[in-house]
C-alpha cells in the first residue's frame, strides 16, 4: 500500500458538513494528504447517531479527519471558527446559506474576508429556479429520470447506493484540487458550488443524448433494447445466478462452442451480430437451457479462460470474501472511538502500481478541539467558551 502519495500535504481543510455529500468531499481530500478539520456542534454531528442503513455514514465518510467542537450559537464559538478559517486553504460545507450565516460562515462574507480561501459548497441545486429547494439523493434521482431508467415501467427505483451524494463529493474534491492549482498562479481563492441535481443530470446524460439524436425516449434499463446478442442473467445447475455477456463475434462463437450449441453457429439466420440481436427471443432461451446444465464454479473458470464477460450476482457483504477485494491493499482498516474496527475501500486507483493506504481512524467528537484551537493562540478560557456545552 502506497503511503507516500500525499499531494495535498500542507493543505488545511475546514469542513462543516453532515450526512454524505460534504463529508465524502472532505474524505477524498484527506486521502490525498490534506489536513481535514471537521467542525461539529457541542452534541456532535447528528449523523454519528444514525442506525440501520444510516449507521455507516459517519464512520465511512469521516475517516482520517480531525474533529473539533464549537458552539456556533455563541460569539466565542464564531470567533474561534473565524480564527480557524483564517488559517485554512479550503472550506467545505453543505448547509443552507441562511444557516451558515447564523453560524458566522456566510459564504459571501467569507469570500470578502478571506480572498485566498476556496469555498466548496455542496447544495441540492446550482443557481436557477430550484436553487432553494430541499434535495435528497432519491429526490434528484426521481427528478432527472435516473429512477425511471433504473426500475421497470411504472416502478421507478433509486439506485442501490448513495451514488449521487458520493459522486457529488468527488466533484467537490476535483474542483477544489483544480482551484488550488489555479491559486498557485493567481493567489486568489474561488467560490465553488456543487449541485446534487446537476450531478445526477450527468448520470442520465447518455439517455438524454439518445433522445436528442434519435428523437425517442429509451426504455427503462430492465426493458432496454439490446445491442448485444447475449447480455443476461441465467441460472446454473446448482441453482446460482450468473450474468453472462457475449458482445463480440469472438465471444458469441466461444460461448456457443463451450455450451455445445453448434446449431446456433451453423444457423444461416444467425451469421451477423444484428441477426443474433434480432433473434434474442429465440436464442436466449436456448443459451439459458445450456447454461443450466453446468454448475456455477465450472462455468466461471471456463468463461474467465475464454475472456467471456461474466459475474456472479453478489451482495455487498460478499466483497469480504472476494479474492480481488481481499488482496493486500484492497481494503483499509479504520478504528472507531469505541475501539471497534471496520474495513472499507480506499480510493479506486493505483499510484506507481500500488493502491493508497487510505482509511484513517474516526475521531471522537471534539477530540482535537484543544489541540487545534491552542495552536491558533486561544487561551484555555477562550477554548472552553468556544466549545460551549461541550466544555
Cβ atoms within 10 A of the Cβ of 221, count?
13
Q: Where are the domains of the chain?
A: 12-204+328-390, 226-315
366 neighbors 390 (Cβ within 8 angstroms): yes
145 torsion bin: left (phi>0), alpha (psi -120 to 50), beta (else): left
Question: Residue 2's pLDDT band (boundaries 50, 70, 90)?
Answer: low
Q: Which positions are catalytic?
A: 165
Q: Say if residue 390's pLDDT is above 70.
A: no
> How much is the average pLDDT of 46-55?
95
Residue 17's alpha-carbon distances to 21, 72, 73, 122, 171, in angstroms, are 8, 14, 16, 9, 16
Q: What is the pLDDT of residues 231-271, one digit of tens each?
A: 999 999 999 999 999 999 999 999 999 999 999 999 999 99
Asked if residue 226 has pLDDT above 90, the reply is no
Q: CA–CA distance from 314 to each of 25, 160, 240, 317, 353 (Å)?
A: 28, 13, 10, 8, 27
What architecture is domain 226-315? 2-Layer Sandwich (3.30)
Tell me, yes or no, if the two domains 12-204+328-390 and 226-315 fold the same way.
no
What is the rounded average pLDDT of the residues 367-385? 97
Lowest pLDDT segment from 1-10, 99-108, 287-296, 342-351 = 1-10
Q: Give start and end residues of each alpha helix (H) in 234-351.
A: 249-258, 262-266, 273-278, 280-291, 296-306
> Residue 191's closest CA among 81, 110, 129, 99?
110
Q: Give residue 391's pLDDT band: very low, low, confident or very high (50, 70, 90).
A: low
Over the Cα atoms of the chain, what is R_g?
26
The CATH superfamily assigned to 12-204+328-390 is: Crotonobetainyl-coa:carnitine coa-transferase; domain 1 (3.40.50.10540)
Local structure of 33: helix, strand or coil: coil
Amino acid at each position: 500500500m502506497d503511503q507516500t502519495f500525499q499531494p495535498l500535504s500542507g493543505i488545511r481543510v475546514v469542513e462543516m458538513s453532515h450526512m454524505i455529500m460534504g463529508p465524502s468531499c472532505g474524505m477524498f481530500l484527506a486521502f490525498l494528504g490534506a489536513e481535514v478539520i471537521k467542525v461539529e456542534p457541542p452534541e456532535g454531528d447528528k449523523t454519528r447517531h444514525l442506525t440501520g442503513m444510516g449507521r455507516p455514514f459517519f464512520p465511512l465518510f469521516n475517516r482520517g479527519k480531525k474533529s473539533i467542537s464549537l458552539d456556533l450559537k455563541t460569539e466565542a464559538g464564531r470567533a474561534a471558527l473565524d480564527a480557524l478559517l483564517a488559517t485554512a486553504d479550503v472550506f467545505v460545507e453543505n448547509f443552507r446559506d441562511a444557516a451558515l450565516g447564523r453560524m458566522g460562515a456566510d459564504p459571501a462574507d467569507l469570500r470578502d474576508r478571506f480572498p485566498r480561501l476556496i469555498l466548496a459548497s455542496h447544495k441540492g441545486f446550482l443557481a436557477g429556479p430550484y436553487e432553494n429547494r430541499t434535495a435528497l439523493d432519491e429526490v434528484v434521482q426521481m427528478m432527472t429520470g435516473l429512477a425511471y431508467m433504473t426500475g421497470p415501467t411504472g416502478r421507478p427505483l433509486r439506485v442501490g447506493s448513495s451514488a449521487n451524494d458520493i459522486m457529488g463529493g468527488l466533484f467537490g474534491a476535483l474542483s477544489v484540487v483544480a482551484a488550488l492549482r489555479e491559486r498557485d498562479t493567481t493567489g486568489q481563492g474561488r467560490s465553488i458550488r456543487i449541485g446534487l441535481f446537476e450531478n445526477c443530470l450527468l448520470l442520465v446524460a447518455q439517455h438524454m443524448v439518445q433522445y436528442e439524436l434519435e428523437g425517442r425516449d429509451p426504455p427503462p434499463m430492465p426493458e432496454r433494447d439490446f445491442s448485444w446478442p447475449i447480455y443476461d442473467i441465467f441460472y446454473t445447475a446448482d441453482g446460482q445466478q450468473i450474468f453472462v455477456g457475449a458482445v463480440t463475434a469472438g465471444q458469441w462463437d466461444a460461448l456457443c462452442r463451450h455450451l455445445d450449441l453448434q446449431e446456433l453457429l451453423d444457423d444461416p439466420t444467425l451469421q451477423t451480430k444484428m441477426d443474433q440481436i434480432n433473434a434474442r427471443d429465440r436464442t436466449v432461451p436456448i443459451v439459458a437451457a445450456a447454461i443450466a446444465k453446468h454448475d456455477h464454479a465450472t462455468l466461471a473458470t471456463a468463461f474467465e479462460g475464454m475472456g467471456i464477460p461474466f459475474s456472479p450476482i453478489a451482495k455487498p457483504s460478499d466483497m469480504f470474501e472476494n479474492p480481488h477485494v481481499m488482496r493486500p491493499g484492497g481494503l483499509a482498516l479504520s478504528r472507531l472511538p469505541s475501539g471497534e474496527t471496520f474495513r472499507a475501500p480506499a480510493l479506486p486507483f493505483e499510484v506507481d502500481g500500488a493502491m493508497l493506504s487510505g482509511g484513517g481512524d474516526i475521531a471522537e467528537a471534539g477530540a482535537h478541539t484543544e489541540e487545534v484551537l491552542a495552536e491558533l493562540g486561544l487561551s484555555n478560557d477562550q477554548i472552553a467558551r468556544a466549545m460551549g456545552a461541550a466544555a
